[in-house]
Amino acid sequence: MRAVTIPEPGGPEALVWAEVPDPEPGPGEVLVSVRASAVNRADLLQRQGHYPPPPGASAYPGLECSGVVAKVGPEVTGWAVGQEVCALLAGGGYAERVVVPAGQLLPVPAGVDPVDAAALPEVACTVWSNVVQVAGLAEGETLLVHGGGSGIGTFAIQLGAALGATVVATARSAKHDRLRELGAAHLVDYREQDFVEEVRRVTGGRGADVILDIMGAAYLGRNVSALATGGRLVVIGMQGGRRGELDLGALLAKRASVTATALRSRPVSEKAAIVAGVRGEVWPLVEAGRIRPVVDRRVPMADAAQAHRLVEASDHLGKVLLTVDPAG
């Protein structure tokens, strides 16, 4: 088979479409013939040498895919050859075939294009586990989403709106109209506006009940300032740096919390539990049309370097997909 390899860390040109050995499913695993994968920020970091795959994971990038079950390993029940699926991966999505733990498989939701389904697993699992499981977002609360135009952001806006929350999102102004269509009630251009002031303004001074943050250190202090009393800040990215100063007095006064989580490095059992939750609680919203995959464009997987350049420029909205030609 062919896969996108990274012989040496570097820029987008470091990605090489090459012949590699075929994988074989072991006990509890399923082999998927890939139709598409999606580009995530973690893939860019892996390409640069800053985010190696966890032990035992595929060396190829790609944290999600859609495709067709090609082979079922021993001890697997509930899945059969020929089923259309999508999957959460620890790596390996940038390939023609990938081995997946059975607990990380999801059926393609009814009404969703089988290729576009590749845009769902990673964002659905990340957003649901953090916004619902960790932060406990409730109907009537306010959710602040940073990076509203990203894959994570576009999904979080839709999920927050579907759960009955008022969603505030930060994004470049050129993306605001599309994000309103997805359910954002208020938009903030982070380059020209202070999101703390805007959140206070639209909430009557109360602040955000839940903040989903991809920036890390650069936004830490302002995120705490933007929290409501009893607010929950969940940090899932470090695009703005690793180390920041936390005002514990401000956090104590608000009886608020700060949580940081990662998905890729979790044990298989934890990922399976998250996937089961997504299948039970999020997939019905997708099948009802209340949440949909947001795909900026499709790029042939052999041109993964081009896709990485697009994502690095941050001009896209939603996901950039890498597609595999089934005809070879």
Mark which of 232, 260, 288 sits at the end of a domain: 260
Instruction: Report if residue 328 sits inside a domain.
Output: no
CATH of the domain at 202: 3.40.50.720
State pLDDT tens for residues 200-243. 999 999 999 999 999 999 999 999 999 999 999 999 999 999 99
Residue 325, pLDDT score: 84
Q: Model pTM? A: 0.96
Q: Whose CA is closest to 144, among 256, 297, 264?
A: 256
In the chain, the number of structural domains is 2
**Residue spans of alpha helices (H) in the chain:** 41-47, 121-127, 151-162, 176-182, 195-202, 220-226, 248-254, 268-281, 283-287, 304-313
Q: What is the pLDDT of residue 231?
A: 98
pLDDT of residue 127: 98
> Do residue 108 and residue 171 come from a single domain?
no
Domain presence at residue 308: yes
Query: pLDDT exceeding 90 applies to what percent of the chain?
Result: 98
* Structural domain of 163: 124-260
pLDDT band at residue 57 under the 50/70/90 scheme: very high
- Average pLDDT for residues 156-184, to the nearest whole number? 98
Residue 186, pLDDT score? 98
Q: Are residues 233 and 315 in the same domain?
A: no
Helices in 96-168 by DSSP H: which ranges? 121-127, 151-162
Reduced to 3 states (helix: H, G, I; strand: E, B; else coil), residue 170 is strand
CATH code at position 301: 3.90.180.10
Mean pLDDT of 107-114: 98
Same domain, 290 and 250: no
Round to whole Å and give the CA distance between 64 and 271. Answer: 13
> Are 115 and 7 contained in the same domain?
yes
Answer for the pair 98, 62: CB distance below 8 angstroms, yes or no: yes
SS (H, E, C) 179-238: HHHHCCCEEECCCCCCHHHHHHHHCCCCCEEEEEECCHHHHHHHHHHHEEEEEEEEECCC
User: Is 283 within 8 Å of 159 (Cβ atoms)?
Assistant: no
Q: How long is the chain?
A: 328
Q: pLDDT averaged over the chain?
A: 97
131 and 192 co-located in one domain: yes
Give yes or no: residues 312 and 200 share one domain.
Answer: no
113 & 27 share domain:
yes
Average pLDDT for 266-290: 98
Q: What is the band of 122 on the pLDDT scale with cuts at 50, 70, 90?
A: very high
From the centroid of its chain, how far is CA 286?
Answer: 15
- Residue whose tokens read 């999600």: 64
Q: Of 209, 226, 260, which residue is a domain's last? A: 260
Same domain for 256 and 128: yes
Q: How many CA atoms lie within 13 A of 127 on its CB side?
A: 29
Contact 328, 301 (CB under 8 A): no
**67: Cα within 13 Å, side-chain hemisphere:** 32
pLDDT at res. 327: 61
CA–CA dist 167, 253 (Å, integer): 24
Cβ atoms within 10 Å, residue 51: 15
Query: Looking at residues 13-24, what average pLDDT do you find?
Result: 97
| Per-residue pLDDT at 135 exceeds 80 | yes
Residues 168 and 234 both lie in one domain: yes
Cα gap 89→207, rounded to integer Å: 35
